[in-house]
Structures are given as structure tokens and as C-alpha cells.
Amino acid sequence: MYIGVDYYPEQWPRERWETDLQMMKELGINVIRIAEFGWSLMEPEEGTFDFTLYDEAIKRMHSYGFDVVLGTPTATPPAWLIEKYPEVLPVDDHGHVISFGARRHYTVNSEVYQLLSKRIVTEMAKRYGQHPAVIGWQVDNEYGHEKSDRSYGDIDQTAFQSWLKEKYDSLDALNERWGTVFWSQTYTRWSQIPVPRKVYQEHNPSLLLDFDRFCAEMYNRYNRMQVEVLRTFIPERQFITHNFVYTGLAQDQKEMAKDLDFISFDNYPVWGGLADPISPAAIARQHDLCRGTKNGKGYWVMEELSGAQGWSQIGYNPRPGHLKLWTYQAISRGAEAIVYFRWRAARYGTEQFCHGILDHDGKPRRKYDEVKEVIDSLSGFADEWIASDYKADVAFYHDPENEWAWQIQPHSDQFEYVKEYLRFYEPAHSLNTQANIIRDDEDLSRYKVVVVPIYFLTKKRFNDQLKDYVKNGGTVVFSYRTGVKDEDNVVTEETLPGDLAEMCGIEVPEYESLRADKSSHVNGQAGVLEGLSSDGEVWSDYIETTTADVLATYEDSWFQDKAAITKNNYGQGTVYYIGSGVESAMIRKLYTSIFQEAGVRSSETPEKVELVWRESSDQTYLAVLNHDVEESHKISLPEGEWSENSTGNSYSGELMIPRLGSMVLVKQK
Ligand code: GAL
């Protein structure tokens, strides 16, 4: 297994390199990622190349036996480039040019930038493609991050217009599908179509969604250009990857991943300004997204946080145990390599307070010791653990286009896509259910339950897949606001939930957006929900049943007779509909019975204790992860004799797991 660090040799005097490499060797790492922000060193003036610093750094790393991953440096176009080609700079939605001075200050639609990128990547690939220490490449750094996903300049507008022409072929088709008759927006020439800069009110939602699709696709093309250059010069043994973030950007990771050997991910459970780490379920969801991006293929964590992070605001300092816990969580959910960010905190520049394994004074202390403990605990074991399979009985649907549609029209000041997604994901996570996050390109029949949360922007193809799946005995769970839009971001003319109404056995003739300080009140009426009550946030679908059974109703003097949660038999299968943003406890109760009925493995553990299973032909692996910073917890182990990988200790029955404790238990089959 690869375990390594992100290192910036250019930020330290050469005399220090030896000390660093020596310490890394003692730590036990085997890979180092470098160079992703080093353009001004490699090409100090246009067309003049100087690789001395990286030649020397790689040579020394190689002499210590480290493998090296090289980043292409295109996230940081140098000052000379911007001075000479200011048109490369992106433009925000107010029409303001984003200044030089930080990073990611380029638009992928600039042809000049494409050429300049091609040139530096070509030179790098020629230089290091044959180097024995270089095992692979990270293209650019976190595409689209820090608001760099959308650019609204004139160059972007022209590119958007050409993209639309390719997509729609005729203006009549575009006018028809976008409904431009509304507010007199009919376009008679392609050049009239705007990029969505500020208007007094709001743009046409169909234009906005296409703009996001366009932004994502232009990044894919830009990435493909770099990948093609690399492939021309590098041998097959060197991989190509990119480090994604999954924060609702106008990026389609799954499409981009088709051009990559595997994907990478930057795992920051806590960042600048956050007082506490995000929830275990929120971290798990990101790992599940990573695993789903290439349909189950393992991925690298190219940046795994090792210390408190931040620019002008500094976030929570991970406590002793967090590093190991987050590393184990990542591997258990599909990561095949872990690279810690960063080796040492920089003394200058924007990221002075992005702490690393070492802090500013460069002395190895507790974080160094903790990484060492992780490496020791994994040695001789990690490869077999990684080679085992993460098996999932449940699928969660997620499509970035649906997320963009929600960003365009969040409906309520209480709606936040990830928060609402987690409303339906977290209860399954808390039951330790194994789940994959999928798109519409998977065979649903391999899953016992498919959860389709906040399915606002629908796709006909996926609707049909869902219908077949349920007819053949599958179980689907929908939430509020299902079936509203078609792929053009146009509202259906069928009664909601539109194309899915029949399979749900319901109609939603009326609904309500619940803003701050408004809530619904939902009472369970049947089955496991009987006697349970919950407040609901964000949304209420006031449901009338056609063939479905009512599981819960609203307590409301006006909508008293309307259903809030329903269950319908459709073909051989079952469809649930949760019409309001009810509390986790109610969803969890419902899932418990759904999972039981469908034969999905789930297990109760104390809150914040996460179990993740992996299987090989002869062994079962169980990661036990206590995310609780304050309390130890007792859990009941699944039947059998379990042994811990790192200590060889045996356990059965009950197990006490200390606060922030993490362990991997193994059982023979
Ligand atoms: C990541 C980025 C790194 C560094 C880090 C700071 O998003 O890829 O270059 O900025 O955050 O925490």
C-alpha cells in the first residue's frame, strides 16, 4: 500500500531536504507528491524551462527509495503569464475579472491557456516520463474548487454559445426546450445568448442548468487535453489521476473519471473556520461518492488532513486518534493509498496555517508519532484489507445535475443540498448499512433497496430503470419533491410526483416550502411508525393516496387529512415516499423495517460508532471506528472470534472502544 506525504521542496532551503527525507524514511512512508504549484520555477519566463529544482528533489527522493507523484502545475498560472495574457483570468458573475494573487485564476475556455498548459505539461512529461521514481501524475489540482468552476467572461460566453449550438443544433429547438417565450427571451441568433451574469431577478432555470453542464464539460475537455499530452510521453506504468472535491461544484467527476486511471480525493473532515469536524456520515458519504465515481474502483486520498487547516481562519485541531480514525475510515470505504497533507506547515504564503505532520518548527511530535502508529499498524496487513471487497446491499442515487438544479432553485432558505441528502443518508449510515452511491448507469437488480433522495430533476431513463426494478421485486424510497422536473429543468405537466406517481401510488396536488421558523408536524399512523411523531423541516408534500397505504399524516388544522409518508406495492416490489423533511429518528425507524423486510444487514451501535465491513473469499474484515471525541463506547460484536490486525488480540462478545479509537478486526470464514 502507498502511504505518503504532500511535500513542497520549493518552499524549503535545500539544506533542509536531507533532514526531511531522513525523517520521512524513519516514519515509514513510501510515496511523495510534489510540484503541483511549481509552474514559475519550471518555466520562469515564457518558453524557458528550468527543471533543476525538481530534478534535484526527485533525485534525492529516489535515492531514499521513495516513489514520486508529480502534479502538473496548471492550478497556479505564473505572474508573467497573466501579465502577458490577461485574457486567461476568469470573470465572476458580476462581470469582475478575478485578480492574480492566489490560485485557480484561469478559465478553461481560454485557448491561450490551453496552449500554455499543453506546453508546460509536454515539457514535464518529456522530462519525467521515463524517471524510475515517478509512478504517476496528478493533473492540475482540485478542478473547480474555490469557486473556479464557473467563469462568466466574453471568452466563456462565446464558448457557451458554440456548446449550445452543438447540443441543440437549431435555435428553434433551444427556444422550445428552454421556454424562451417566457419574458420575451426568444433568441434569433446564437450570439444573443448570455452567460448568466447578474440580472435584477433570476435567469431562466433551463439556461442555468445548461450553463453548469457546459462548465463541467469544458473542464472535462481541458483535463482530457492534459491527459492526452501525458499519455503521448509517459509509459503505461505511470498512472494519471486528479484530486477531486465533492462540494456541489459545476463538475461531473464521473464523466471526467473516464479519462483517468483512477480518481483521487482530498479528505478534509474539518477545515478553516470549522469549530468541529463534519459528521461521520458526511465524511462517509464523500468516500462513497469516491468509490462510486468509477463504479467501485479503489481511489487514492491524495490529501488526507494531518493538522488544523485554514488561511485567515483556523479550524479545529484534530485530536490524538483522529488521523488514524480518518485513515481507517477511508481505507475501509475504498481508499487504496493515503497521502497526508502536508509534510510541514509553510512559513509564508496564503497557507501559513495549514498545519501538517510537522508544524512550523519542523520538529517531529505527536502527529508524526500518530502517522507512524498508523503505518506500523497497517504494515503487512493493508494490502489484503484493500484487496477485499466493500459489498453493498443498498444504493443511494446521486446525480450532480440534480444537485445543480437544487442550487438553482433551493425553494426554501432551509434547503441545503448536502444537508438534505444527509437527512436520508445518515439514518442508513447510523444503522451501519453498506451502501453505494450510484448514478443511472448501474444494474439496480444487485441492490435490495434503492434510496432516491430529493429526486427533483428526473431522467426518463432512470425513471424507467426504477419502474422495472420495483416491478421485479425491488424496494425504492423516495423523498419530498420527487418527479418535478425533466432534463431541461422544465416542470412536468403531470400531477406530482409526475412520471413516478403511479409507482408511488400517490398524488401531490399541493405542497409547501417551509422556511426558517416554520415546520410541519408528522404523526406515524401504521406499521413501525405508529405512535411516533416528528417535526418536519424544509418542505411538506400534502399527499393523497391512489393505491398507497398511509404510514404517517400531518397534524395541521388545514391539511389534517393529508398523508406525509406512504408505502405502495407496485408489481412485485415496494415504494416508500417521505413527503416532509422529518427527523432522523423517524427515518431511521422506517429504514429499520425496510431493511429487515428486504434482508439488508444493519446493526445498531452507539451514536458516532461506525462499522464498515469488507469481505475476501476467506475472511471478513470489520473496521470499528469511534468518532466520539469524549466517550468510550461498548459495542456487541457480530458472532464469532475476531482478531485485531495490529495487535493479534482476540475479541468476541462485547468490545469497549475508546474515544477516537479505531481498529480493524478479522474473522476467518
Ligand atoms: C486543498 C488543496 C491544497 C491545500 C489544502 C489546504 O483543498 O488541494 O492545495 O490548499 O486544501 O487545506
Per-residue pLDDT of 303-345, as tens digits, reads: 999 999 999 999 999 999 999 999 999 999 999 999 999 999 9
pLDDT reported for residue 646 = 87
β-strands 573-578, 563-570 pairing: antiparallel
pLDDT reported for residue 610 = 98
pLDDT digits (tens, 9 = 90+) for 591-612: 999 999 999 999 999 999 999 9
C-alpha grid cell for residue 529?
Answer: 411508525
Mean pLDDT, residues 155-170: 98
Mean pLDDT, residues 43-47: 98
pLDDT reported for residue 227 = 98
With a CB cutoff of 8 Å and minimum separation 6, the contacts of 518 are none
Tell me the one-letter amino acid at 269.
P
Residue 197 C-alpha from the chain's centroid: 27
Tell me the one-letter amino acid at 353.
F
Q: Looking only at Cα atoms, what is the longest distance across the chain?
A: 77
pLDDT digits (tens, 9 = 90+) for 361-394: 999 999 999 999 999 999 999 999 999 999 999 9
Q: Given ligand 1 and candidates 104, 138, 270, 303, which is best to mutate, with the most ligand atoms within 8 Å of its CB?
A: 303
Mean pLDDT, residues 273-278: 94
C-alpha grid cell for residue 576?
Answer: 416508500
Helix (H, G, I), strand (E, B) or coil at 349: coil
* Alpha-carbon span 106 to 162, nearest angstrom: 20
* Alpha-carbon span 620 to 642, nearest angstrom: 9
* Alpha-carbon span 206 to 208, nearest angstrom: 5
pLDDT reported for residue 369 = 98
Secondary structure letter of residue 463 according to DSSP: H
Report which of 348, 375, 371, 346 is spatially closest to residue 359, judged by C-alpha positions. Answer: 346
C-alpha 268 – ligand 1 centre gap (Å): 9
β-strands 31-34, 2-6 pairing: parallel
Q: Kindly tell me if the per-residue pLDDT of 273 is higher than 90.
A: no
C-alpha grid cell for residue 566?
Answer: 406512504
Hey, whose CA ends up nearest to atom 1 of ligand 1? Answer: 266
Q: Kindly tell me if the per-residue pLDDT of 1 is higher than 90.
A: yes
Name every protein residue with a CB atom under 6 angstroms from any ligand 1 atom: 141-142, 266, 268, 303, 309, 341, 351, 354
Secondary structure letter of residue 338 according to DSSP: E
Give me the residues paired with residue 650 across strands.
643
Confirm if 322 and 367 have CB atoms less than 8 A apart: no
pLDDT reported for residue 561 = 86
C-alpha grid cell for residue 481?
Answer: 419533491
Hey, whose CA ends up nearest to atom 9 of ligand 1? Answer: 141
C-alpha 273 – ligand 1 centre gap (Å): 14
Mean pLDDT, residues 63-87: 98
Helix (H, G, I), strand (E, B) or coil at 117: helix
* Closest atom of ligand 1 to CA, residue 271: 12
* Alpha-carbon span 353 to 348, nearest angstrom: 9
pLDDT reported for residue 492 = 98
The DSSP H or E segment spanning 81 is: helix 79-84
Helix (H, G, I), strand (E, B) or coil at 666: strand
**CA distances (Å), origin 372, targets 40, 327, 367, 378:** 34, 12, 8, 10
Q: Kindly tell me if the per-residue pLDDT of 86 is higher than 90.
A: yes
* Alpha-carbon span 664 to 650, nearest angstrom: 11
Per the document, the length of the chain is 669
* Alpha-carbon span 169 to 372, nearest angstrom: 58
Mean pLDDT, residues 257-281: 96
pTM above 0.85, yes or no: yes
Confirm if 156 and 265 have CB atoms less than 8 A apart: no
C-alpha 87 – ligand 1 centre gap (Å): 26
* Alpha-carbon span 466 to 254, nearest angstrom: 21
Q: Kindly tell me if the per-residue pLDDT of 645 is higher than 90.
A: no
Is the backbone peptide bond immediately before 410 cis, with ω within 30 degrees of 0? no
pLDDT reported for residue 487 = 98
β-strands 449-452, 506-513 pairing: unpaired
* Alpha-carbon span 518 to 414, nearest angstrom: 10
- Tell me the pLDDT band of 28, cut-offs 50, 70 and 90: very high
What residues are labeled active site?
142, 303
C-alpha grid cell for residue 168?
Answer: 441543440
Q: Across all residues in the chain, what is the average pLDDT?
A: 98
* Closest atom of ligand 1 to CA, residue 245: 7
Residue 103 labelled as part of a binding site: yes
pLDDT reported for residue 169 = 98
- Look-up of cell digits 444504493: 395
User: Which residue stretches of 346-398 are H helix?
Assistant: 366-378, 382-387
C-alpha 481 – ligand 1 centre gap (Å): 35
As a dihedral over the C-alpha atoms of residue 20, residue 316, residue 339, residue 74, rounded to 10 degrees, the angle is -90
Full set of structural domains in the chain with CATH: 394-598 (3.40.50.880), 609-668 (2.60.40.1180)
Secondary structure letter of residue 412 according to DSSP: S
With a CB cutoff of 8 Å and minimum separation 6, the contacts of 503 are 466, 467, 470, 476, 568, 570, 575
C-alpha grid cell for residue 41?
Answer: 520555477
Hey, whose CA ends up nearest to atom 10 of ligand 1? Answer: 351
